[in-house]
Structures are given as C-alpha cells and as structure tokens.
Amino acid sequence: MATKKIVKKKSKVVKDKKVIKKAKVKNVKKDKIKNTKKKDKVVPVKKVKKTATSTNVRVGNKTPELLRGFKDILPKDSFYWRKIQSLADQISQAYGFVFSATPILEEASLFIRSIGRGTDVVDKEMYLFEDRDGSKVCLRPEATASYVRAFINHGMQSLSQPVKFWYLGPMFRHDRPQAGRFRQFYQYGCETFGVRDSAIEAELISTGYNFLKDLGIKATVYINSLGTVEDRQNYLIELVGYLRTKRAYLCEDCKKRITKNPLRVLDCKNTDCKQVLEEAPQIIDWLSESSKNYFMKVLEYLDEVDIPYVLQPTLVRGLDYYTDTVFEFYEDEVNQESQNALGGGGRYDLLVKELGGQDTPAAGFAFGIERIISVLRRQKEEGKLSFSENRSKFFLAQLGEQARMRSLKIIEELRRAGIFVEHNLGKTSLKSQMELADKLGTAYSIIIGQKEVQDGTVILRDMESGNQEIIDQKKLKSALEKKLSKV
C-alpha cells in the first residue's frame, strides 16, 4: 500500500511539471508572434546547447598530456633525425635494399604467431585492442612479421630472389618506460627474403655496422647461433634439466619460463638469473656439424671485412622466430652489461612457412633510432660528434614589401640551382635579420631592399670583413657558387 501511494504522488508531480512546460511553450510562442509585429524585437532566450567542445574549453582549458612512454620529435633533434634518415636511405640503397612501408595497425594474430607466446613482447607489451568490428588488432611491436605478411600477401616468392626491403617507422611496446626504453620508438630495419647463405647475414651485419660507423659510432657485434629447430630441441632438454636444478635461485618469471618457454630465461636481466646462467649449458655445444659450419662461415665473412665481433653464448634475442645466426650491436667503450643494444637481428628461416607462405629463408635486423640519438647527443656534449649541422653559408635579408616578395622568387631560383639560403620572412627590420644571420654563423648575407628590387640587383655582404658588393640578380647564382668554392 505504502509504495502505491508514493508512486501516485510521484506521477502527480510529473504531471504538474508537464503542465508547467506546456505553459512555458505557449508563452514563448505568443512572444514570438507578438515580436514579429513589433519593430524592436525581443528574441526569446534560447537554451545554449552544451557541446563537448564548449564544455571542454570551460573546464580550465587543461591541455592533454603526452602519454607516458611517448615522445614528440622536436625541432631541436631534427638535425639527428635528418642525418639518420638520409644515411639509412643511402646505405640501404648501396647494399641493395629497397624502401617500403607496412601499416602500423595489423591483425594481432600476426605477432602472436610469429613472436610467440611466452615472450615479453606478446605476453606483456602488445598494444592490443578490439577494432569496431570486434576483430583483435594491435599496434605493431616490430616490423619483421609485417614484412613476412606482405611478402606472402603480394606473392613475392615469384620475384627474383633475394627480395630486400628497408624501412624506418614507429613501433609500439607497452614496456615500463626507462632510459632507452619507450612505448613508441622508431626502428630502421632491413630484411632479406629468399636466400639461405652465410653471405646474407654478413651483408646485413655489414650494412648495420657501417651505418653506425658512418654516424661516428664505434660498435662491436655480439653474435651467436641458435642452430636448427632440431639443434634447439636437443639443447632445450639439457637446458631445462639444468634450470630445474637451479629453480630456487631463479626469479618468479623464469620459474614459469622453465616450462613455458625456457629459452627466454637466457634473456632475463635479473642478476640472480644471470648468475645461474653462467654455468648453464651453451647452445653452441649442441649445434649439428652443418649448423656449426654455417655459423663459422658467417664469422669468416666478418673477419674478411674487419668487423669486430664477440661470441656471446647466452644471446638468444627476445623473439621466438629466430634460427641459426642471431646478433646485436653494442657501442664500444660502454660496458655491454650496463647498456641497451643499439640494434639486433638474425635469421628466421621458418617464419614465412609458419605464417602460411612457401618455405622461404629470410634474415634481417633493426636499430632503435632513439638509442642511436642518445649516443649522438652524448657525443655532441663531449665535443666528439663526427658530423656537423649542414647549414647554409648564405642569409637572405629583405627590407620592404616588394623586396620581401622578390625574396621568395630568389629563394626558389637558388633552390632550383641547389643553393639553400637561410631567411626569415617574418622579420621586417634589417638589424634583427643581420643579428640572426650572425647567430647562424652565415658567411655571406644577400640584402635586398626597395632600390635593389627596382635595379634588379642585390647587395652581397661578407659577414666577417663587412665588405659589400652589388650584384646583378641574374648573376647571383654564379656569384654564390664562386663564394661556396672559397668557403
């Protein structure tokens, strides 16, 4: 009974509200009609609809934060990025790799199947989510698997082998952010499909090593062989037996890895686990004769081209798809134990078939660009950077509206002739432009004002001596070329 009463009372209130609303609407209509007759209209006050943006703006104008582990590439670092990109382009081309790109978003199963369950990348670090159609997708944690997919999807096994790609792009791993470890990071990588020969590994290592060398980074290659699947299976029996006897000293993750994915124990950074691994059986002792010969041949090639390497029996790399040769690049003069690898790679002969393609051997490597930049930044601080910023020797300064217009034309004409000029069309005072030219360390300023526009000339000023000469605009290109050959 009591509940019924309350319900009744409620419905009365609701009714009353409706009555009030109706009355209001009536008044508004009346007002509208009235107002249309009157000249000095009183427009009925409309309710302002709250849109998402108007609300956001009012909430203190809070700027969204950069996500943890993500970084903006800022102009202050553009010098390094441009150098790395152009060198990656040059060196890849010289070694026969062709630029290509795959999407950042892929089917999640591509990486789960290739990198493997039990690896940190798949178990803990994938940016995995459901797409709007319910399918499981992920932001690529690396690019090798994507290239395998592309190789199969586009029927590239019918092309002349090897098929060689290079790429540079962002990867995503939900790792714990720390020095040299981000959630979005860029990789420069090369992949070779279709040939199983020690020369391929030697070529990849040579490409990577010389890429670092040309950047002025002295590096050593740490190298190991995982042999064939059979070699590995024999080794794993021995390894698991050993790890079981040392189970009590292993970290909790490695205890699980003994049964889940024992090879991953070798990747563990925990100091107790590392100590256990010192006495562990080494895979190199379990390689078949042919695997050993294959690996020895890779080392012979490296000797031939004077690439320094260190045999590292615990090096297995954190991904499951590798067979035979695996390698990593470490900067010299920095303790390998205390630093992160600049890059790494290896052979993955089974992956194309595992992902549904024809039996196709393959190998590749990838470098982390942010880690390379942090080495270069440190070198710069220490005054040891081997290259300098490629700035123009010329600054174009303008005075007056017409001169500014003419400047654009001159900039373009010189650009077509391969000469770049620094400038700042946003500045109008000659003094501030000359200060800027000075700050940039330009050798010559090209000055153009109202008079020069009319005469078809420019003033060319030697910034050091202060000497000035008047030059015909048509002869500017050849005058600058002469100056370039002297600078």
Q: Which residues are near ligand AMP by CB under 6 A?
A: 142, 173, 175, 180-182, 185, 187, 318, 341-344, 366-368, 370-371
The 10 Å Cβ neighbour count of residue 228 is 18
Nearer to ligand AMP by C-beta: 371 or 423? 371
Nearer to ligand AMP by C-beta: 152 or 341? 341
Q: How far is the CB of 180 from ligand AMP (least distance, A)?
A: 6
Q: Of all residues in the chain, what percent are helix, strand and coil, respectively (each to 5)?
A: 50, 20, 35
Spatial separation of the C-alpha atoms in residues 204 and 195, rounded to whole Å: 13
Which H or E run includes 88?
helix 78-94
Q: How far is the CB of 178 from ligand AMP (least distance, A)?
A: 9
Q: How far is the CB of 340 from ligand AMP (least distance, A)?
A: 6
Spatial separation of the C-alpha atoms in residues 313 and 332, rounded to whole Å: 19
Q: How far is the CB of 329 from ligand AMP (least distance, A)?
A: 7
According to DSSP, the residues that pair with 331 across neighbouring strands are: 219
Q: How far is the CB of 318 from ligand AMP (least distance, A)?
A: 6
Residue type present at position 261: N
Nearer to ligand AMP by C-beta: 146 or 457? 146
Nearer to ligand AMP by C-beta: 43 or 179? 179
Q: How far is the CB of 52 from ligand AMP (least distance, A)?
A: 34
Nearer to ligand AMP by C-beta: 182 or 286? 182
HSE at residue 119, side-chain half, CA atoms within 13 A, is: 20
Assess whether the previous peptide bond of 162 is cis (omega < 30° from 0): yes
Nearer to ligand AMP by C-beta: 31 or 175? 175
Spatial separation of the C-alpha atoms in residues 187 and 168, rounded to whole Å: 6
Token code pair at residue 174: 């939900």
Q: How far is the CB of 373 from ligand AMP (least distance, A)?
A: 10
Q: How far is the CB of 368 from ligand AMP (least distance, A)?
A: 2
Nearer to ligand AMP by C-beta: 110 or 484? 110
The 10 Å Cβ neighbour count of residue 426 is 8
Residue nearest to ligand AMP (CB): 368
Q: How far is the CB of 138 from ligand AMP (least distance, A)?
A: 15
Spatial separation of the C-alpha atoms in residues 232 and 323, rounded to whole Å: 9
334-340: long-range contacts, CB 8 A cutoff, minimum separation 24: 336/222, 339/180, 340/179, 340/180, 340/181, 340/368, 340/371
The helix/strand/coil state of 406 is helix
Nearer to ligand AMP by C-beta: 277 or 315? 315
Nearer to ligand AMP by C-beta: 302 or 342? 342
What separation, in Å, do the N-terminal and C-terminal C-alpha atoms of the chain show? 101
Burial class, 314, CB count within 10 angstroms (exposed 0-12 / middle 13-18 / buried 19+): middle
Measured torsion, CA atoms of residues 202, 204, 206, 212, in degrees rounded to the nearest 10: -150
